[in-house]
Structure 1
Amino acid sequence: MIYVIMGVSGCGKSSFGAFLSEKLGWPLHEGDNFHPQENIDKMARGEPLTDQDRLPWLLKLHEVIERERSSSCDALVVCSALKHLYRHILLYGSKALASPSSPNRDILRPATPDVFFIFLHGDFDLIHQRMVNRMGHYMKADLLRSQFDVLEPPLEEENVLTLDIRRSISDMAVEVEAHITSLRSIP
């Protein structure tokens, strides 16, 4: 089972991922570590990434997800996954880029049964304040508006668990553990 912890920058993906990784004993793949240097430099300059900038990064994360799935391992992946297309790339790699009329497009179901998205949801003001207060991250608070502008909240058929970031990390983790338990009890 793979959980992709998603949401805009500053919503707490990395902190929550580290907490869950320790609690569950699952490996954590931090999406920021897979960005090419050009993307990091661009964000550090205060420039939002384009779809073209994100594509190689998303394809690398797809490879991580596929490697974990093929080894039947449980894992956590941290990735903003802001758009429906980005989530499809995480699930299906380059097949998700096929044109809508392509026959390959028909094989793409909304989600795979062993990959789930945890959407850390919060309002702009709360997240902006968190970003202003954090130190040492290349993603500047000035870019938050561009993240909210791009965000396409996941749909129910995308295997999503939405968590309100006003809750404590431990409360959110309890909900994830209950989700895992409910899935594993299905025959």
Structure 2
Amino acid sequence: MILVIMGVSGSGKSTVGSFLSKKLGWPLHEGDDYHSKENVEKMASGVPLTDQDRTPWLLCLHDIIQREMCAGTNAILTCSALKKLYRQLLLFGSRALNPSSASHQPDSVGGVLFAFLQGSYELIHTRMVARKGHFMLASLLQSQFDMLEPPSESENALTVDIQKSVPEIAAEIERALSTQQ
């Protein structure tokens, strides 16, 4: 099983991912660690990433998902996955960019669950302003909300309210995982 913890910056992906990784004993792949130097510099200077900026990063994360699935291991990946296209890139790689094959692809892949950490702009902005040492500026949060396409049920996605505590969020995700295996 591959768990993709998704949501806008500041929604708690790393915190929830780390908590679940320790609890379940699954490896955690922190999506931010795979951004190019150019992407990090762009975000750190307050410039939102474009689809073209994100595509190589998402294809790299697709490779991680494929590697873990081929090995038959459980794993957690954190990634904003803001648009359906981005989630399709995570699942299908570069095939998602081909219009003729993309129209015939399903919305989900067995063995991959998306956990969408959902919260209000105000709550997440407050969290981002308070955190230290992250390259993503709070001023970019609105651009993430503007492009956000929440996942549908057909994408094998669970939506979790981030007003809950981390253990409550983790328990909700664990319940969803137990129905998948």
TM-score between the two structures when normalised by the length of structure 2: 0.98
1:105 offset after TM fit, Å? 2.8
1:172 offset after TM fit, Å? 1.0
Map 1:1-187 onto structure 2 (within 5 A): 1-99=1-99, 102=100, 104-184=101-181
- Post-superposition Cα deviations, 1:94-146, rounded to whole Å, max 9, x if no partner, equal 000012xx1x2354111001101000000000000000000011100000000
1:174 offset after TM fit, Å? 1.0
Cα RMSD for the two superposed structures? 0.8
Helix, strand or coil at the partner of 1:162: strand
Q: How far apart are the structure 2 equivalents of 1:144 and 1:58?
A: 19
Q: How far apart are the structure 1 equivalents of 2:52 and 2:124?
A: 26
Partner AA of 2:141 in structure 1: L
Partner AA of 1:70 in structure 2: C
Aligned residues: 181
The answer for unaligned runs of 5 or more in structure 1 is none
- Post-superposition Cα deviations, 1:22-74, rounded to whole Å, max 9, x if no partner, equal 00000000000000000000000000000000000000000000000011110
Q: How far apart are the structure 2 equivalents of 1:105 and 1:164?
A: 31
Q: How far apart are the structure 1 equivalents of 2:26 and 2:82?
A: 24
Alignment check: 8 A CA contact 2:111 2:180 kept: no
Alignment check: 8 A CA contact 2:8 2:145 kept: yes
Q: How far apart are the structure 1 equivalents of 2:90 and 2:176?
A: 21
Q: Which runs of 4+ in 1 moved over 4 A?
A: none
1:150 offset after TM fit, Å? 0.6
Q: Kindly, what percent of the aligned residue pairs are identical?
A: 56
Q: Which has the larger radius of gyration?
A: 1
Q: How far apart are the structure 2 equivalents of 1:37 and 1:6?
A: 21
Alignment check: 8 A CA contact 2:6 2:82 kept: yes
TM-score between the two structures when normalised by the length of structure 1: 0.95
